Every structure is written in C-alpha cells, then in structure tokens.
C-alpha cells in the first residue's frame, strides 16, 4: 500500500475523528501501516488506545505484551450495559425489558454494538418506534 504523507494523514484523521464511519472489524494490517505513518516513532509522552478484533493487526501495531484479549459480554452483562445507556432511572415496563433483552441478544455480546444501538433507541418511548 503506497500512500503519500497527505493520504496517510487524511486516513488517520478519519479513523481518529470518525471511527464509526469506517468498518473496524474489517481492518487489515495495510490500513494500520497507512495510519501509523502519522504518529511519531519516538515514545515521547503520548499514547494511543487502539482497538481491533483482528489479532494480526494488533500484533503488527507493535503492541508486544500490551494487548488484551477481551471476551464477549454475556446476556446479563449485555442487558446491564444496554439499560445503563438507553434507559433513564424511571421504572421499566415489562414489555420494554422483553424487547430490550431480545435486542441485546442480537448484539452478540459486542459492547460497542450494544452502546450504539442503546443510544439510537434512547429517545424511543413506544415499542413501535
């Protein structure tokens, strides 16, 4: 992947400022190679929190022993996260709980997916919404 400095910088800005616009699960090592050009090679004072489900990308990012393998959330954890994001402190009607648990099941334990869906549904007050 041959990119100019400007193209690499533009890629880094898109990934940094608009991460939800790019398909993180499909990241390949070539994408990281392009983005890493924008970061200083010296280890002076800054850090990067880098998330990916692709262990090859994590390895190629030079994380050495700093990588953490995260497990998927279970049904109870997923529901708890969903409620904390989507629902205010008011009491939850039973039908919302049933639908909410079904929604979290469809998120397959992925925390980011749960949070995004919960934020989208936060303003909904009727199941039909």
State the number of CA atoms in the 13 A half-sphere of 17 facing the CB: 6
pLDDT of residue 105: 92
Quote the CA–CA distance of 42 and 52 in Å, as a whole number. Answer: 23
Domain spans of the chain, in order of start = 5-66, 75-121
pTM of the model: 0.55
| pLDDT(4) > 70 | no
Work out the average pLDDT over 107-120: 89
Residues with Cβ within 8 Å of 25's Cβ and at least 6 positions away in sequence, in order, are 53, 54
Higher-confidence position of 12 and 57: 57
pLDDT band at 46 (very low <50, low <70, confident <90, very high): low
Q: How many CB atoms lie within 10 A of CB 41?
A: 7
Asked whether 96 and 127 are in contact (CB, 8 A), the reply is yes
Averaged pLDDT, 107-116:
90
Question: Residue range 48-52: average pLDDT?
Answer: 72
Structure-token match 């497990």, residue found: 71
The pLDDT value recorded for residue 21 is 39
């Amino acid at each position: 992947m041959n990119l100019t400095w400007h193209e690499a910088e533009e890629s880094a800005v898109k990934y940094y400022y608009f991460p939800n616009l790019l398909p993180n699960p499909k990241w390949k090592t070539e994408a990281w190679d392009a983005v890493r050009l924008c970061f200083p090679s010296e280890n002076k004072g800054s850090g990067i929190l880098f998330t990916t489900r692709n262990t090859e990308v994590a390895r190629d990012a030079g994380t050495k022993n700093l990588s953490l393998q995260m497990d998927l959330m279970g049904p109870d954890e997923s529901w708890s996260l969903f409620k904390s994001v989507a629902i205010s402190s008011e009491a939850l009607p039973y039908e919302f709980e049933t639908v909410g648990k079904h929604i979290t099941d469809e998120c397959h334990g992925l925390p980011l997916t749960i949070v995004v869906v919960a934020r989208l549904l936060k303003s909904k007050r009727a199941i039909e919404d």
